[in-house]
Amino acid sequence: MNLPNKLTVLRILFIPVVMVFILVEGIPYRWLLGGICFGLASLTDMLDGKIARSRNLITDFGKLMDPVADKMLIMSTLVCFVQEEICGAWVVVVILFREFLVTSMRMVAVDKGMVIPANIWGKIKTVTQMMSIIGIFCGCAMREFTFIPAAVGDLLLTISVIMLYAAVAATILSGITYIYSCRELFKDV
């Protein structure tokens, strides 16, 4: 297994660790530790693609599992945020809907010999989702430290949740652009 694929597997292995930190209240500094783990996992997303392209290490495993690992990391974290009442379930539903829709279109496109490349809105969607989630971790982590006024953590958390809603908007726009770019798939329907 090459280095980019190892980084993808590492990202998947981070998921239960991040979930434990979010959901187990008795862990000291759980938000800080969960945020660090999520940040490291997000960093592997950036690194695996760069390394794979620069060293010509692109594999079928990487093409399949890299985007799946991203979705697994983001969705599992957001589901935990719903459990912790940080965001509403509708956020998860909208993002899941888009992911299933685009993945399904890609599978149909492959059957028809087409490739649906990633577009700028897909990249914006991923970056805004990850950045808002990191911001939420930071806001919650700030509330764990008594020397930081609670209002500071609350403000960062509020800003990050608003950013998450912007990520939902980017998710919707990304889905619409994929549907539009794949309109050829629907000609025979």
Q: What's the rounded Cα separation, in Å, for the pair 86 and 33?
A: 18
Structure token digits, residue 63: 């093409």
CA–CA distances in Å: residue 114 to residues 10, 31, 152:
30, 43, 49
> Phi-psi bin for 29: left (phi > 0), alpha (psi -120 to 50), beta?
left
Is residue 159 predicted with pLDDT exceeding 90?
A: yes
- pLDDT tens by residue, 20-77: 999 999 999 999 999 999 999 999 988 998 999 999 998 888 888 888 899 999 999 9
**CA 170 to mean position of chain CA atoms:** 13
Sign of CA dihedral 146, 147, 151, 157: negative
Q: What's the rounded Cα separation, in Å, for the pair 73 and 12?
A: 7
For 183, the 3-state DSSP assignment is: helix
Q: What's the rounded Cα separation, in Å, for the pair 16 and 135?
A: 20
Structure token digits, residue 104: 């399904």
The answer to whether residues 129 and 95 touch, using CB atoms and an 8 Å cutoff, is: yes
CATH number of 3-184: 1.20.120.1760
- pLDDT tens by residue, 4-16: 999 999 999 999 9
Q: What's the rounded Cα separation, in Å, for the pair 154 and 148?
A: 11
Q: What's the rounded Cα separation, in Å, for the pair 163 and 168?
A: 9
- pLDDT tens by residue, 80-126: 999 999 999 999 999 999 989 988 888 888 787 777 777 888 889 98
21-30 per-residue burial string, b: 16 or more CB within 10 A, e: under 16: bbeeeeeeeb
